[in-house]
Chains A and B, each alone.
Chain A
Amino acid sequence: MINGFHMSKKKILVIDDEVNFSNLLKINLEDIGEYEVKAIYKGSEGYEAAREFCPDMIIIDVVLKDADGRDVLSLIKSDSQFQHVSVIILSAVPLKQILEKHPVLLGNTLILSKPITLAMLVEHIHQQLKKSENG
């Protein structure tokens, strides 16, 4: 892992209980060659996975079977190590609902709606990562 080639890759943690979606997203993103992706399917394992994987970005669905994705995010962000981690909420529920209940999440968080094309998602990932590098 600690070789020059992998060092340049950005790490993305995907947390989504739609197993097939998470796997496909991982394959698609890794095929691009710029990202290293870890996909997990349980919200409850989110914080543990973040500590282990140290992601540059988290892509998470807010409606998870075992937890509320927003709580998972709050927990991860409460760790100073991840306070400024880039986040994309990628969800099938209406965006307004997400915003109203958790305005705290807004900093550094982008909300996108499923379904989304890979091209568009990658575009947003790119921008988010660039923003956090500059910020």
Chain B
Amino acid sequence: MQKNIIHVMVVEDDRDEAELIGTLLTTAKIPEVSAEAFRVSYQTTLRGAMAEIAKEYVDVILLDLNLPDSGGLDTLIKLRGEAPSIPIVVLTGAYDRKLAIDVLHRGAQDYLIKGKSDHQLLLRSVRYSVERKRAEEELKRIQTQLIQAEKMKSVGRLAAGAAHEVKNPLAIIMMGIDYLTRKFEGPDEKTKMIMQQMKDAVLRADYVVKGLLNFSSLKDLDMKVTNLDEVLKESIALVRHAMEKRQIGIVTDFDPHLPMVKIDRSRIQQVFVNLLTNAEESMPDGCQLTVKTYAKKVESGSSVGYRTEDHFVPGQLSVVAEISNTGPAIPEEILENIFDPFFTTKRERGGTGLGLSVAKSIVDQHKGLIRIYNREEGGVCAAVFLQPVD
């Protein structure tokens, strides 16, 4: 069995106590935990603990509530606020029933009394906290996915019905405008302009409805073995004009040995055009856009795993198209909403909030992944992972 290294951070100002815990963990020889090894790091203050989790991956925290720079429940609340996803086991000297309940309510995974816990109890507590937290996170992730899928489905259902009910009135308005335009024919420029504006408004409403219909017609894919580089080149050609107008440079870095993919060419092109346009619109003039393709083994993350609904297993080869810009980062608080139908930050500029959600649906239907994240070196990266042809 492969050994997993669990990084335990002990936050305890009593050095003897901290060392004792460390020794108990690192010399563990207990069958039920023998599959794991522990790496232990020590902090004596809350500030030190926060600094460590900010720069290092920690699996579990053993926390003494009373530290030189923080005391009581407050210590737990502050640390949880900083790292809500890391499981915390609280250590304290005296048994206090109320405090025990309080720390559990505040999100601690467990509660141990110093001196009263033998190494078996300690190890079990640490391991179970890690496992419980993992299960919780996994559950949360699946719930989010389910909600997202459900949202998409209901929009699709609504779209087909709404389209008919909206397009018919639009057709009447359009015919009416054509009638009035004829009746008011003459030198009156103002009337002409108003008629044209009304026509444009009808076409705009129709455009939104068409976007909605994309949801309901996504089922019919025309899958063909394709070179992804070609599709990207076509997509770039479609947006090049807009980019040039704003002096945005496009750098391409295509892998000449890229494996072929089986895709619906026009649908994937729609995805790329959407991502390219997003990248362009979020950049100030004169910035640079990079388009890259390569083959890569997928790492774990959303939709990667061994369940039937997962699109990739960890380590599986994928064909990646990456579009990155040098523009401003996406604020963290909206990052989780960007794929939601109707979520948009550019409504005043005519955004419908459907572009990315349609893009995601299309990629999902290809059993691929789409990830959008802020790059460490600045800018935003959108990556599409597709299945290579065997």
Contact = CB atoms under 8 A, between A and B. Distances in A.
B137 interface: no
B172 A18 contact: yes
Contacts of B203: 115
A113 B168 CA distance: 10
Interface in A108-122: 113-119
A28 B160 contact: no
B164 interface: yes
B125 interface: no
A93 B163 contact: yes
Nearest to A119: B178
A20 interface: yes
A118 B164 contact: no
Interface stretch (B68-76, B213-221, B325-333): B213-221
B175 A28 contact: yes
B174 A116 contact: yes
B202 interface: yes
A115 B163 contact: no
A27 B163 CA distance: 25
Interface string B132-172: 00000000000000000000000000001001101110111
Contacts of B167: 92, 113-115
Contacts of A54: none
Contact of B172 (A24, A90, A113): A24
B213 A20 contact: no
Interface size class of B (residues with CB under 8 A): 20 to 34
Contacts of B220: 96
Interface string A71-96: 00000000000000000001011101
Interface residues of A, number: 21
Given A92-B168, A114-B171, A116-B174, A27 B179 contact: yes
Contacts of A96: 217, 220
Contacts of A92: 163-164, 166-168, 171
B201 to A, nearest CB: 11
A96 to B, nearest CB: 6
A55 B151 CA distance: 47
B93 interface: no
Contacts of A21: 168, 171-172, 175
A98 interface: no
B206 A115 contact: yes
B279 to A, nearest CB: 30
Given A94-B213, A94-B216, A96-B217, A31 B182 contact: yes
A23 to B, nearest CB: 9
A101 B213 CA distance: 18
B216 A18 contact: no
A63 interface: yes
A115 B171 contact: yes
Interface string B267-293: 000000000000000000000000000
A25 B175 contact: yes
A116 B199 CA distance: 10
B107 interface: no
Contact of B202 (A25, A90, A115, A118): A115
Contacts of B202: 115
Nearest to B175: A24
Contact of A117 (B160, B178, B182): B178
Contacts of B378: none
B77 interface: no
Nearest to B166: A92
B351 interface: no
B94 interface: no
Nearest to B214: A94
A119 B179 CA distance: 11
7 contacts: A18-B172, A24-B176, A25-B175, A27-B179, A28-B179, A94-B163, A96-B220
Given A21-B171, A63-B164, A115-B203, 18 more contacts: A18-B168, A18-B172, A24-B172, A24-B179, A25-B175, A28-B179, A31-B179, A92-B167, A92-B171, A93-B160, A93-B164, A94-B163, A94-B216, A114-B167, A118-B174, A118-B175, A118-B178, A119-B178
